[in-house]
Amino acid sequence: MLEIKKITVRYGENPPVLEDFSLLVRRGEIVAIVGESGSGKTTVIRAVLGNLPGDGRVTKGDILFEGRSLLSLNREEWRRLRGTQISMIFQDSGAMMNPTRSVGAQFVEYIRAHSGLTKNEAREKSLEMLSSVRLPDPERVMKSYPFELSGGMRQRVGIAMALAFRPKLLLADEPTSALDVTTQAQIVRQMTLQKKESDAAMILITHNLALAAYMSDHIIVLKDGKVVDSGSRDHILRRPESGYTKNLLAAVPAVKGARYV
Ligand SMILES: Nc1ncnc2c1ncn2[C@@H]1O[C@H](COP(=O)(O)OP(=O)(O)OP(=O)(O)O)[C@@H](O)[C@H]1O
Ligand SMILES: [Mg+2]
């Protein structure tokens, strides 16, 4: 599905912010990238999507999606891939939406931009997607402005949009960090469910090792742009190699005497 092969990313002439980074994610799998702020997590996703900000660039290695290098795609090829084959779930989907237009208008426009559907067909599809993420009263959600929805509802809208074209690969950057704990749990359940149904592959970025442990098959721990641990979920939880990961594990709060991971 997606294979990142030993990439190095630099901004201008600064030292690399990501070094020798590799990742393999197969159909139906979730790979979590865990690490503190500034460790390079978002950089990985932006490199995959071909939109590193400023003068950021991949200086070494390759990124293969279904065997094809993403590094050599042109604008038009990217346009065809984004949204339909590869899509993103952001930290705060509300912030990505236009505050002055209804959710429905934006959803319909998004669907039409990526397909040949008519306005009515796109509307039907929007409603269908909104109910598939268990949003109550999709009709009302469509008419609402983003600020009229709760953070959790907006995040469900974001997930519904990201899944609209059954993408093969989902990139989720801190998808639950902007939410309160209860809503986080609901959204996590939603994503797990949805992922099972669609059989998509997913890269989950989080600073929360407990979340990574709960959701993912593989975990990669990043520190200062370098991989300090990488392996199956159980391996990382039971036999972490680096002292850094051990500290992260020790910091996960125990719930009622039992550790949460
Ligand atoms: N446009 C840019 N120009 C120069 N350096 C940048 C740019 N964007 C990010 N960086 C640097 O790249 C490094 C990794 O940043 P990145 O955003 O990938 O971290 P992160 O792990 O996602 O952090 P957070 O958890 O805070 O989101 C940081 O040192 C950051 O300063
Ligand atoms: Mg980030």
pLDDT (tens digit per residue) in 164-184:
998 999 999 998 887 887 788
Answer whether residue 237 is part of any domain: yes
Distance 62 CA to ligand 1 centre (A): 20
199 domain-assigned: yes
Q: Which ligand is nearest to the CA of 47?
A: 1
Q: Which of 211, 183, 216 is nearest to 23 (CA)?
A: 216
Does a structural domain hold residue 100?
no
Which atom number of ligand 1 is nearest to the Cα of residue 54?
1
Q: Which atom of ligand 1 is nearest to the CA of 53?
A: 1
* Residue 136 domain flag: no
CA distances from 231 to 56, 57, 126 (A): 28, 27, 38
Angstrom distances, CA of residue 100 to CA of 58, 143, 145, 240: 37, 12, 7, 48
Tell me if residue 108 falls in helix, strand or coil: helix
Q: Provide the pLDDT for residue 151.
A: 87
Round to whole Å and give the CA distance between 38 and 36: 6
The predicted structure's pLDDT at residue 192: 81
d(CA 45, ligand 2 centre) in Å? 9
Tell me whether residue 149 is in a domain. Answer: no
Would 178 be classed as within a structural domain? Answer: yes
pLDDT at res. 194: 76
**What pLDDT does 190 receive?**
78
Check: CB of residue 50 under 8 Å from CB of residue 29: no
Query: Pocket residues for ligand 1 (CB within 6 Å)?
Result: 11, 17, 35, 37-43, 53-54, 56, 207
Contact 142, 104 (CB under 8 A): yes
Helix, strand and coil percent figures for the chain, each rounded to 5: 40, 25, 35
Among all chains, which residue has been given the structure tokens 């051990």?
A: 246
Pairing of strands 2-11, 169-173: unpaired
Tell me the CATH number at 50: 3.40.50.300
Beta strand spans in the chain (E): 2-11, 18-25, 30-35, 56-65, 68-69, 86-89, 169-173, 201-206, 218-223, 226-232, 254-255, 258-259
Is 74 inside any structural domain? yes
Taking the model in full, what pTM does it have? 0.90
Query: Measured between alpha carbons, how far is 131 from 156 in angstroms, rounded to an integer?
Result: 10
| Angle, helices 103-113/119-132, rounded to nearest 10 degrees | 110
**pLDDT at residue 177, rounded to an integer:** 82
Residue 82 DSSP symbol? B
Number of domains in the chain: 1
Residue nearest atom 9 of ligand 1, based on CA coordinates: 43
Q: Quick check: 40 and 225 in contact, CB under 8 A?
A: yes
In this prediction, residue 258 carries a pLDDT of 55
Atom of ligand 1 nearest to the CA of 222: 21
Residue owning the nearest CA to atom 17 of ligand 1: 42
CA 220/CA 218 separation, integer angstroms: 7
Mutate to test the pocket of ligand 1, among 4, 9, 11 (most ligand atoms within 8 A of CB): 11
**What does the pLDDT read at residue 44?**
96
| The predicted structure's pLDDT at residue 196 | 77
Q: How far is the CA of 179 from the centre of ligand 1 (A)?
A: 22
Instruction: Report if residue 188 sits inside a domain.
Output: yes
Range of the domain at 222: 2-93+169-259
Per DSSP (E only), the strands in 157-248 are 169-173, 201-206, 218-223, 226-232
Name the residue at shortest CA distance from atom 4 of ligand 1: 11
Q: Which residues of the chain have pLDDT under 50?
A: none
